Structure formats: structure tokens, C-alpha cells
Structure 1
Amino acid sequence: MKKEIKYRFEVSLYYIIKFFILLFPMKIRYKIAEFFGVIIYKLLKIRKRVTLKNLEIAFPEADNITIEKIALESYKNISKTFFELLWLDEIKTKLVGREKLDVELKKGKGVILLSLHIDNWEILGQELGKSGYNVYGVAKSQSNKILDEIINNIRTKHGAKVIFKGRNSSRLLIKALRENAILGLISDQYTNDSEVIFFNKKTKAPTGAAVLALKFDVPVFLAYTVREKDNTHIFYFEKKIDLQKTGDDKQDIKTNTQICTSEIEKVIRKYPEQWFWQHDRWRIK
């Protein structure tokens, strides 16, 4: 009963915030989003500690002022990302390098887009769907089923499809590739899969992209969005990642997971203020 009341409150809050914020012009909406980002940064002490610890691991040479600045900007970006769900259709995005993707899709094997929680990752599926691509994203179901449905309706409005993590997800991932679809895999968070070096420190990373690429001979593309100063976005199809294939599947999966992780790290180093530092990324002592 308590959970049901909590869930209904969350849904009501979503609609109230949406109603009021859409009354404002775009520049004011982003100012409001930034304000909430600053408030959350100051109030949520536990998550702030994780953020600062992660930044100290990633940039040991940086001073406290630099670390604090990146952390605060990261919170502002996350706040903007969640607020942008309320007006996702109005977001302006420029696609760069799409022709590389088209070349690979002509081979008929599908494409894995390796991505990360940078800028607004929800834009990936929307823009590909708008452009007429057959695209699937992978997501975890939220405990609040009503809010989960609202969010997934936003994600799928322009033709993108969602595969939910669970018992049947592996089968659905394979099915998507056999349809010559684009499969978006956000692969920057901790999972208990394969040990990697990330920002010069041991941790673990998801092996999904490496496993699927090796098993089905599917190309892997590094793709992500970047927020500009005016809150427009650039969607980069950066490059096809060169993976190792020696015949030793176990070692190849480990090596290729490291290759993918290193490519993700390069992007984060370019745009540290836009990455999701709030996740507990390093759990190996």
C-alpha cells in the first residue's frame, strides 16, 4: 500500500512538473533544470561523495577546484537530461558521420552502437527512429510501472524499440541483429562481467558488445551525443571499433571488452563534465 501511494505520488509529480515547466520558454526551462542540478548536488551528500571519489580516481592530477567544477557541471547536465524527457520532441540534434553507419548496414548483419551515459543518452534512439532506422535500445524496467510506461512511450514514440533486461533479453538481442537492426548498448557502468582497466584502475565492465560482435560477426560503432553551450546536441557516429578475433573466444571477449572500455574512456576524457560520475564505477579494491 505504501509503495502504491509512493508510485502515484511520483506520477502526479511528473505531470505537475511537466505542466508548469512547459509554460516557460526554452532558455528558462534550462535555467530551472540547472538550478535543480545545483540543489541536488548540495543536498544528496552520499551521491556527491561517490561522484567526488570517482573524479579523484579518474583525474588524480586535478586539484579540488577542478574536481568540484566537473562534479557540479555533471549534476547540471544530468538534471537537464531528465528535464529534457518532458520536451524531447523539441530537442535539436545534428547527426555527424551517419554515412559510416549506412555502409555497414548494407552488409545485412546489423550494427552494435557502443555508447555511454554522456550528455543525453535518450536522444540516441529517438534520433535514429526519426531518421527511419530499425533501432533497439536496452533498458531496465523501473519498479514504478506507470512511470516506466510513460518513459518508454517517450522512448518509442518515433519508432525505436526497447528490449528489457531479463530472462528473454539475449534471444531478443539476437533477433534484432538478424533483422539487420541497430542495437544500442550503453556499456559504461559496472557489471560483474570482465575485469578491465578504466582510468588506470581495475574495475569490471559489461561484455555484451564483445560477445555479440564475435558470435555474429557484427560491426561495433562508437556513438554518443554531446551537449553544446546552447543546449543543442551533436550525435557522433565516431568510428568503427577494430576488434580482435584470434579464435580463442574467452580471451577475445576479455580483450575486446577492454578495447571497448578504452574507447569509452577517451570520450569521457574529452567531455568529463557531461558524464554520469554518480555511479559507483570502481568496486574492486
Structure 2
Amino acid sequence: MNNLTLSQKIAAKTIVMIIFLFKLGNRQTRKKIAFGIARIIFALSPKTRKRSINNLRVAMTDQSSEDRIQYLAITAYQHIVFGVLEIFWFEDLEYTFEMDKETKAIIASGVPLSIATMHLSCYEAVPFALQKLTGRVTTLSKVPKFAAGLFSLYAKNGVCCVDKSQAGAFFSLLRKISSNGVVCLHSDHFGSDTDVEFFQKKTGAPAGPVMLSAYAKTPLLVAYAVLEKITLIQSILKRFLNFP
């Protein structure tokens, strides 16, 4: 950590301390702490608060109650924070998978796959869950320098994690899918690679998963995870596009 700024060193030490405190309690305790942290962040970060509320207004045009929108935004953010922190214990979680027969056949065939994932309440649940299912998952992540130790979490669970900030990151993904890999990319970030219409609104979206799917001539799957219970992750996969 010698090349880090003072603020980055403080942040790194804070992360280590939070992880240590979390390990002292059970999952229910961690959830309560995560929900408390989320409320603090939501209250102190105008950017996070505004983005969450505006997204809900776009998605729920029939919801006129500002109190209800505020409640849903806070609740959603609490689960997001909890999901982020739970990546440290993914190996302890139980996974179930929901997919139709066609998708199940694609997974079982062993072909390379491009999977567009959504964060929802479980930040990295999809690549970790699919690693248990396929054993050949690669994902892309931009981890800050002061938190570089997080890459060991991916390795610990057998997931190959490509650093988004490294030169030629996308070519690394191309090599992985060319060698029969399963590449999972988050696709619900704000992006402008391609124009799309979402909830009757013109917007942009990242095109990485589609490009990988077209390159490897393999189906594009969409996947998301739901934290149903405190110890159960349900991963839901759907076939979205098929390149012949």
C-alpha cells in the first residue's frame, strides 16, 4: 500500500476493520449492520439518493406517493449494500437455479457463453453461482487500488476476474470465451455503447455481452440473482439472443 494516498490507506484500513467486525457476528447480525450502513450512505450521498429515487420514478410511473418512492429507494439500497458485503461469504451460501429447458440444455452442452447480469440485491452472486454450476466463469470488475485484495475473493471461489482498468481487458474476455469460457458481465450500469429503449425511455446501454456473444457465435443469456432467504441465493437465467 506504499503507493496509495493517505485517504486510500484510510479507506483500505476501514474495509479491513469492517470485514473483521462482520466476521464476529452471524448472517442476521451482518444484515442489520449492512442495512444501517446503507441508511447512512443514503442520507449522506446526494448522488446515490437522487439516482435511486429517479430510477424508481422512471420505472414506477403510476406511483405518485413520494414517501413510498423514498421507502422503496432506501429498502432497495439496503439490500444492495447487504449483497455487496455478502460476497465475502458466498462460499457459505446455498444456491438454487431457475431456467427453462432450452437454457438448461445450453448450460449442459458445455458451449462458451456470454451472460449479461444485473446487480439487483446480490452484487456478484451470478458469477459465483455459475462458477458452481459450470466451473469456467470469468467476470470483469473495476476494483480500486486500495481494495485490490478483493481479487482474492474471486480466486478463492474459482472465478477468473479481469481487472477492467488494465490494458486490453476486453481482449482478455475474448480469449476466455474463445477457449470455451463462461463470461459474465454486469449490464445494468449506465452506458452509451448502444441506443436502447427502456420503460419507453430512450437511453444507452453497454454492448460488451452482445459483442462477446456475436464473436463466439453463442447464445446470450440474461441472469440475475435474488436473495430469497438469509442463506439462499436463487439464480435465474433466460436466453435472450441466439447467434447462429
TM-score, with structure 2 as normaliser: 0.87
Partner AA of 2:223 in structure 1: A
Q: C-alpha separation between the residues in 1 aligned to 2:103 and 2:157?
A: 19
The Cα offsets for residues 158-181 of structure 1, whole Å up to 9 and x where unpaired, read as 211012224312322221112111
2:209 matched to which residue of 1? 209
The Cα offsets for residues 20-44 of structure 1, whole Å up to 9 and x where unpaired, read as 2211222122111111112222222
Contact 1:37 1:79 (C-alpha < 8 Å) held by counterparts: yes
RMSD: 2.5
Distance 1:38 1:183, change over 3 A: same
Could you say what secondary structure the match of 1:192 adopts? coil
Could you say what secondary structure the match of 1:27 adopts? helix
Could you say what secondary structure the match of 1:112 adopts? strand
Contact 1:228 1:234 (C-alpha < 8 Å) held by counterparts: yes
Distance 1:128 1:81, change over 3 A: same
Partner AA of 1:24 in structure 2: G
Q: C-alpha separation between the residues in 2 aligned to 1:197 and 1:136?
A: 28
Distance 1:98 1:138, change over 3 A: farther
Partner AA of 2:124 in structure 1: E
1:48 matched to which residue of 2? 49
Worse overlay, 212-221 or 179-188:
212-221
Per the TM alignment, residue 83 of structure 1 is displaced from its structure 2 partner at its CA by 2.1
Distance 1:41 1:231, change over 3 A: farther
The Cα offsets for residues 30-75 of structure 1, whole Å up to 9 and x where unpaired, read as 1111111122222222321222122212222212133112201111
Worse overlay, 112-121 or 223-232:
223-232
More strand by share: 2
Q: C-alpha separation between the residues in 1 aligned to 2:219 and 2:176?
A: 14
The Cα offsets for residues 88-137 of structure 1, whole Å up to 9 and x where unpaired, read as 33223222339755632565640111111212131222223334521100
Q: Which runs of 5+ in 1 are unaligned?
A: 246-285
1:6 matched to which residue of 2? 7
1:227 matched to which residue of 2? 227
1:184 matched to which residue of 2? 184
Partner AA of 2:57 in structure 1: E
Distance 1:128 1:99, change over 3 A: farther
The alignment covers a number of residue pairs equal to: 241
Could you say what secondary structure the match of 1:241 adopts? strand
Q: C-alpha separation between the residues in 1 aligned to 2:94 and 2:231?
A: 8
Q: C-alpha separation between the residues in 2 aligned to 1:107 and 1:60?
A: 42
1:136 matched to which residue of 2? 138
Q: Which runs of 5+ in 2 are unaligned?
A: none
Partner AA of 2:72 in structure 1: I
1:159 matched to which residue of 2? 158
Distance 1:231 1:42, change over 3 A: farther
TM-score, with structure 1 as normaliser: 0.76
Distance 1:170 1:16, change over 3 A: closer
Q: C-alpha separation between the residues in 2 aligned to 1:143 and 1:217?
A: 35
